[in-house]
Amino acid sequence: MHRGRHSVQEEIMHPEQTGRNPHSFRNRETHEAYYLRMQRAREKVEKMGENKRKRKLRVCVATCNRADYSKLAPIMFGIKAQPECFDLDVVVLGSHLIDDYGNTFRMIEQDDFDVSSKLHTIVRGEDEAAMVESVGLALVKLPDVLHRLSPDVLVVHGDRFDALALATAAALMNIRILHLEGGEVSGTIDDSIRHAISKLAHYHACCTRSAEQHLIAMCEDHARILLAGCPSYDKLLSAHRRDDYMDIIRAWLGVDVKEQNYIVALQHPVTTDIKNSIKIYELMLDALISFNKKTLILFPNIDAGSKEMVRVMRKKGIEQHPNFRAVKHVPFEQFIQLVSHAGCMIGNSSCGVREAGAFGTPVINLGTRQTGRETGENVLHVRDADTQNKIYHALELQFGKRYPCSKIYGDGNAVPRILKFLQSIDLDEPLQKTFRFPPVKECISQDIDHILETQSALAVDLGGTNLRVAIVGMKGDIVKKYIQANPKTYEDRIERILKMCKEAVIDAVGLNCRILGVGVSTGGRVNPQEGVILHSTKLIQEWSSVDIRTPISDVLHLPVWVDNDGNCAALAEKKFGQGKGVENFVTIITGTGIGGGVIQHSELVHGSTFCAAELGHIMVSLEGPECSCGSRGCMEAYASGLALQREAKRLHDEDLLMVEGLSLKNDEVVNAGHLISAARLGNSKADAILRTAGTALGVGIVNILHTVNPSLVILSGVLASFYESPVQRVISQRALSSAQGIKVVTSDLEEPALLGAASMVLDYTTRRIY
């Protein structure tokens, strides 16, 4: 948003003054030296181009649709105005030549350009297969045209599938390519096509500093990248203040329409999610009908899904609706007037996030098609546009507002820069482009032992009593395990963790294990995104607000994942245990405390503040025993190992625990095991306590079933086998009939915390999401 306050010219000529450091240089001297070197390289290229060129540069501009022509036309006019420097050829293809999309090739002819070739390259069908066939048809027809024209440079714009065919043909025919608007990010399949064209192109004219940095990160040669700004800004910044703008508005929307009291709508399909695109389009039309304002709606582009969107439009009678004017094409000069004076623009066109910002026109961007674009404050995103009310509310918020004008994408001087850049091209320079790869370590030849290494994870489990570290293989096999007491202070604990991890990494070499990363399981509330333990359990002291990821990663030079021990148990079941292949399940740990994890749609649920699945603190009674969390009546206060130990001590203190067959040594601490043994030997008091505990746990699980409706409940921990039958009984008695059939099983994993910690690492190596 703040980028709009700096002109493109300022960013090109004075990068230091913008306050940004576009490269990770260690000091100012290196920074300045780099830019000096780039400037000298650019000047050398320009000088060589001026000295060596003995003829005019033959430039072929290929345009595929109405949108890219608005960007290419200013350049074409600039080239045409310098006949002493350039010869211009124009190739028209794609949707320009289709009647349903306005036969927009006519506006190119009206602009007095001689069209060298018209290629019918679109295979109708408006689905994924038709797009692929269209690319193939273009590749069949383009070689003859390019061979006949023999351009020195082909100018290609953007991210359309037609442009990919152009770049592919030119690259294979050894024709230099200048790509406009590369390096940008929009969030759809367009990104893949745009970046593919950038890799084929020899030269780049980009619009923003971020796009330039993306191209550099893609290993493109900085000397061949021009930060020019958007060519369409050259026209729109000078033309949108026409005196006859009201005549244009009335011509398209009627004589009664007033400035800033109408809407411009333009929605295209998202080819990677066509079904949702059509749903959003239908909801947008419903919202616009309800909003009851005059609306100019343009037909969608020719991408897969557009035919279905047009069907939706016609089904709703938009073309006959008195509030709507549906059109296939508006000349760019007039479209500028319509957008700049609109009360709002809605849809997912790049025009909304690019050109509209120059006028301060309010924009509502629907869905994900432009999510990655840089935008001004005039854009309101409705990424999850799943209801009509949500879109209607966005219209209420945006309609009629005015925002500060933004020049993120240009300052109106792109064309002179691009023409100068074209003139600097040295045709005697080798055609083969080179990539500027970052420094990498020297490659070490592999031997058979390296190839046969076992891919493994280093798993760390921080318990209240012990620290445990294990080397875990891909199949969940624990190759080696290390156990030491958990120190009481933060400094000693970190020191011991690092020492144990370093020892394990050294041992892994001898065990022929390749450590891929480190997974950490710990009690308490964890932010897994930052690797920070937010709040620890009472059993682990000095362990809140602790960044555990950084020290381990810094010492071992390995990626580190961190999560709560209950979540890790659920991940262990998902990868290695009873939850393998199950899309929705809940794991409940019944040990010293009670915790767990929830898997929904095969993904772990963390919650907005990372305290999802604190299952032990589900309240099952308003006036129950006090819980360690400070509340009363929690499931953990009834059914955890500590709760049973508390009740066992109470019975023992009242001489009500011991029965025939139960022995207790003088120095032995009473625990939950003694309570369970007493109940099995006929102690009615102990049996009643355990029944209450089982009921409390069962009631809590019934609440879970009614909340997240899993298909499976997995009980884990030392008390799991004891609680399986009581929990199943309570479910059959108290759950809704639709939930009574949900299966309860006992985990068969011996080390769920370690295996879950390892799974975070191992799932990453196989590119899965947890």
pLDDT of residue 729: 94
- Amino acid letter at 533? I
Please compute Rg for the chain using Cα positions.
33
Q: Rounded to two decimals, what is the model's pTM?
A: 0.50
pLDDT of residue 453: 72
pLDDT of residue 4: 37
Is 565 among the residues known to form the active site?
yes
Task: Give the three-class secondary structure for 516.
Answer: strand
Mean pLDDT per 10-residue section of the chain, whose length is 770 residues: 36 36 39 53 58 77 90 94 96 88 85 94 85 94 96 94 95 96 84 94 93 93 92 78 86 93 93 89 95 94 86 94 92 88 93 85 89 84 89 94 85 92 92 84 52 83 89 94 92 94 93 92 90 82 87 92 94 95 94 91 92 91 89 93 92 90 85 90 92 95 95 93 93 94 94 95 60
**Catalytic annotation, pick one of 68, 303, 565, 763:** 565
Q: Please state, in angstroms and as integers, the Cα–Cα distance from residue 425 to each residue in 105, 126, 178, 218, 224, following that order.
A: 30, 39, 10, 21, 9
Tokens 């292949």 identify what position? 581
**DSSP-derived secondary structure letter, 107:** H
Alpha-carbon distance of 153 to 256, in angstroms, equals 49
Cβ neighbour number for residue 150 with a 10 Å cutoff = 11
Q: Looking at the DSSP assignment, which residues form a beta bridge with residue 470? A: 459, 481
> Is residue 583 within 8 Å of residue 542, measured between CB atoms?
no
Q: Is the dihedral of CA 165, 179, 336, 409 positive or negative?
A: positive
